[in-house]
Structure 1
Amino acid sequence: MLTTGPRGTKDILPDSSGYWQYIEKTARDVCRSFAYQEIRTPVFEHTELFLRGIGETTDIVEKEMYTFTDRGGRSLTLRPENTAATVRSFLENKLYAGPLPAKLFYMGPMFRYDRPQAGRYRQFHQFGIEALGAKGPAVDAEIIILAVTFFQRLGLNDLKLYINSVGCPECRPVYRKRLQDFLADKLPELCSDCQSRFDRNPMRILDCKKETCTNLSAGAPEVIDCLCDECREHFSQLKVLLTAAGIDYQLNPRLVRGLDYYTKTAFEIQYAPLGAQSAVCGGGRYDGLVAECGGQPTPGIGLAIGLERVMLALEKQKLLPDTTGDIDVFVAPMGKDMQSYAFRLLCDLRQTGLRADMDYMDRSIKAQLKHANKYPARYVAIVGEAEMADGKVMLKNMHSGEQELVAVADVTGKIQRETEE
């Protein structure tokens, strides 16, 4: 059917695009106050970038990527997330030679072949933050506080921040062994995905959403008990900084996130009323990712916020602003003979900064007034032969119903004065 879009996609129509602009502007304003700058990467990359960057044992790589071969025989993939692409750009464009940490943000569509449901689409939108080059816990705290600030600016309540440490290559093997020992006799009962993860990445079993696996892994050893001194100190200092900043958080020892590149800090912000899709923000530290992508060892940390889920949360809390496409003035010509004059007036009004439109459908004056109300328009400038001859328009206040003759040169000033009042 050519009249329906692909499954898992959604049109953003004019009656809701204003909501998106509001959320995006809020994100940009917050990033500006935290000194983060925007980066825009291509929507597709070489497939190998995601295989190496995200990890071959992740659900994203194994099941969800949109991968295709181009006419040159190259394997390309629509970006399922943007951290790996940002790291690639960091290396390719030598951002490491500039001031560090490189503090970057992005917004745009991502693509995953997933089962569509409320708040989850196959083309979805993320607002993401990446900080590359700083290894201390202060930048971890800053990233988390930035996310909290974003949600606060939107007015969202009832959000919960969960944090954990997933260790590093030095201490994670110890935890890996303990976890495998705990799960060994339960292996036949785990789902097929978790059985395949047992040898490759057993921590991912803790992230499984299937009830059977969740029950079987209950009581598993906690990674936080296996941390090396460096990771333990890093996590301890992060908690001190969050507390100093007045940020409430809860420890979640099962929080491992769904990507293989995470080290040390992992965090998630949830909005429980969204149910199964309650996570509105997630992120963590990825100190090995830059080297994995071919660069020199460089620490990094980032987050991603799903904008569709943010939209759902704002709807539930009735926090979406009024973004109706109202205009300042609608120019209404009285007949075809007045269209040329009305069009010139329209252009002049727009040059002064007013939001203005006119009739293009040869409607009657009555029909034009009715149409102007649908915007709604605050004023209608009616133009007839008499008005044109005198260099005036009949300016009608659509709220009060009052109307008066106003010189063309005074229309903008009158509308602006009455708006300020």
Structure 2
Amino acid sequence: MTINAPRGTVDILPKDAKKWQFVENTIKNVCNRFNYEEIRTPVFEHTELFQRGVGDSTDIVQKEMYTFEDRGGRSLTLRPEGTAPVTRAYVQNKLHGSPVQPAKLYYFGQMFRYERPQAGRMRQLNQFGAEVLGSANPAVDAEVIGLAMMCYQELGLRDLKLVINSLGDNESRKNYRNALIEHFTPHKNELCSDCQTRLTQNPLRILDCKTDRNHPAIQTAPSMLDYLNRESKLYFDQVKEYLTMMDIPFTVDKNLVRGLDYYNHTAFEIMSEAEGFGAITTLCGGGRYNGLVEELGGPNTPGIGFGLGLERLLLALEAEKIELPVTEELDCYFIAVGEEAEKQAVRLTYELRKQGIQIDKDYQDRKMKGQFKAADRLHAKFVLILGDEELNNQVINVKSMQTGEQKEIPIPEMVHYMNEMLQGGKA
């Protein structure tokens, strides 16, 4: 019986892995320029972390988490998002006590959500995220947004749209919550069952509903911006001013609330406007989450961050027809003919690898013609040929696959010669 990968998961094969590596390395380079450091958290956490951190009323907690009991009867959950685990690690390891503040962190990780699989949205998804903990400065909000934008731009994406909103502080959010309850209550029976529950639990989530998105009541809902108090308005104005100074265009969307309970003040999404990208255009989402550290047992610590899906990033690159500069070339391929030559090939191949040269050899006992074909398939730049005659003369025949030129090189000079050729020397 053939066993396939579970629904909603995919294998990243070697032909695609180099693209992933290029994307990840590009993002790591951007993070380094912004002085963000990598953090790695467990793939599974105590379920309570997401119930308290993400919020009981969210779709993630109610419908999408992979939760199980371990042999000790503890409820554990495969992480569905990255902010709560990073915040938990920040509290548990007392990073708030470090003299270097704020803590500027980034992560790459696999997330798990039980939802209907579609292009770029898998049940096991790969996510990059960044979090800044320890600063309530609006300039940090602009920096985090700028980091996300630069990651996309460094990879060549141009058809991007940044959408921002403010959810205000606790006072503003409370006033807005009451206004939404008053607005939606007359329409309660017209809303989907989820939104009827959200009306009392978290009415802001109604604005984010995929089922009722076109309902007239949502279109005419009051704007969060009208309920911001003076401090929240000033904060949002400063964020917008910084983005303008950084030459990052943005659009304000009063209905942008994001799907997690911990957000307050700045919320944002980055979308692809590339033709043919699809109906779901969001590439990245994030925002400020002051209060989450306290909720998880830490001191009063402001935070802001985002998460972006790598699968959707790669789809956006395809939509904009961007070819990543990944190569399929191999530096050298070693062809050995004869039993003694094969023994020497094993030794010399390992020696060349120790010196930093990328090289492979035949392991299927193919004839010389078959080995040359293998070198072609691997796009080898040079072929090193060793047979009985070369062994007697203590040389290796080096052939350039680009020019066809061949040259005999003494074995003791092999490493130096190949390094010179691979760095642009002439045979």
- Amino acid of the structure 2 residue aligned with 1:292: E
- Amino acid of the structure 2 residue aligned with 1:22: F
Alignment-derived partner of residue 81 in structure 1: 81
* CA apart distance, 1:211: 4.8
1:131-280 matches, cutoff 5 A: 131-211=132-212, 214-273=215-274, 274-280=277-283
Alignment-derived partner of residue 72 in structure 2: 72
Deviations 1:306-357 (A, max 9, x none): 1100011112223232434321111101133321011111111112211001
Distance 1:276 1:77 in 2: 30
Alignment-derived partner of residue 26 in structure 2: 26
Secondary structure at 1:268 match in 2: strand
Contact kept? 1:268, 1:281, Cα under 8 Å: yes
Contact kept? 1:67, 1:77, Cα under 8 Å: yes
Secondary structure at 1:35 match in 2: coil
Distance 1:364 1:349 in 2: 23
* CA apart distance, 1:399: 1.4
- Amino acid of the structure 1 residue aligned with 2:331: D
Secondary structure at 1:341 match in 2: helix
Paired positions, count = 421
Distance 1:16 1:66 in 2: 27
Secondary structure at 1:110 match in 2: strand
Alignment-derived partner of residue 12 in structure 2: 12
Contact kept? 1:208, 1:214, Cα under 8 Å: no
Distance 2:161 2:311 in 1: 18
* CA apart distance, 1:213: 5.0
Secondary structure at 1:217 match in 2: helix
**Identity percentage of aligned residues:** 49
Alignment-derived partner of residue 308 in structure 1: 311
Distance 1:166 1:279 in 2: 19
Distance 1:328 1:38 in 2: 32
Question: Is it true that 1:289 corresponds to 2:281 in the alignment?
Answer: no
Contact kept? 2:338, 2:388, Cα under 8 Å: no
- Unaligned runs of 5+ residues in structure 2 are none
1:343-382 matches, cutoff 5 A: 343-382=346-385
* CA apart distance, 1:156: 0.4
TM-score normalised to the size of structure 2?
0.96
Question: Is it true that 1:414 corresponds to 2:417 in the alignment?
Answer: yes
Secondary structure at 2:383 match in 1: strand
Alignment-derived partner of residue 44 in structure 2: 44
Distance 1:395 1:169, change over 3 A: same
Distance 1:409 1:325, change over 3 A: farther
Distance 2:132 2:30 in 1: 15
Contact kept? 2:192, 2:212, Cα under 8 Å: no
Distance 1:165 1:390 in 2: 77
Contact kept? 2:65, 2:78, Cα under 8 Å: yes
* CA apart distance, 1:214: 4.2
- Amino acid of the structure 2 residue aligned with 1:377: A
Contact kept? 2:207, 2:213, Cα under 8 Å: no
Contact kept? 2:164, 2:251, Cα under 8 Å: yes
Return structure 1 stretches of 4+ with deviation > 6 angstroms.
none
RMSD between aligned alpha carbons?
1.3
Contact kept? 2:80, 2:111, Cα under 8 Å: yes
Alignment-derived partner of residue 331 in structure 1: 334
- Amino acid of the structure 2 residue aligned with 1:155: G
Contact kept? 1:335, 1:362, Cα under 8 Å: no
- Amino acid of the structure 2 residue aligned with 1:5: A
Contact kept? 2:191, 2:212, Cα under 8 Å: no
Deviations 1:276-297 (A, max 9, x none): 3311111000001111111122
Alignment-derived partner of residue 390 in structure 1: 393
Alignment-derived partner of residue 322 in structure 2: 319
Distance 1:401 1:277 in 2: 51
Contact kept? 2:330, 2:378, Cα under 8 Å: yes
- Amino acid of the structure 2 residue aligned with 1:229: R
* CA apart distance, 1:298: 0.9
Contact kept? 2:70, 2:76, Cα under 8 Å: yes
Secondary structure at 1:24 match in 2: helix
Task: Single out whichever of 272-281 and 75-84 deviates more from structure 2.
Answer: 272-281
TM-score normalised to the size of structure 1?
0.97
Distance 1:408 1:380 in 2: 14
Deviations 1:73-114 (A, max 9, x none): 000000000111111100110100012111110001000001
Contact kept? 1:190, 1:216, Cα under 8 Å: no
Distance 2:212 2:409 in 1: 71
* CA apart distance, 1:265: 0.4
Distance 2:239 2:408 in 1: 66
- Amino acid of the structure 1 residue aligned with 2:320: Q
Alignment-derived partner of residue 342 in structure 1: 345
Contact kept? 1:30, 1:149, Cα under 8 Å: yes
Distance 1:43 1:389 in 2: 57
Task: Single out whichever of 209-218 and 51-60 deviates more from structure 2.
Answer: 209-218
- Amino acid of the structure 1 residue aligned with 2:139: A
- Amino acid of the structure 2 residue aligned with 1:364: K
Alignment-derived partner of residue 404 in structure 1: 407
Distance 1:117 1:361, change over 3 A: same
Deviations 1:142-186 (A, max 9, x none): 100111111111110110000000112111121112112221221
Distance 1:271 1:215 in 2: 26
Contact kept? 1:206, 1:214, Cα under 8 Å: no
Secondary structure at 1:77 match in 2: strand
- Unaligned runs of 5+ residues in structure 1 are none
* CA apart distance, 1:210: 2.0
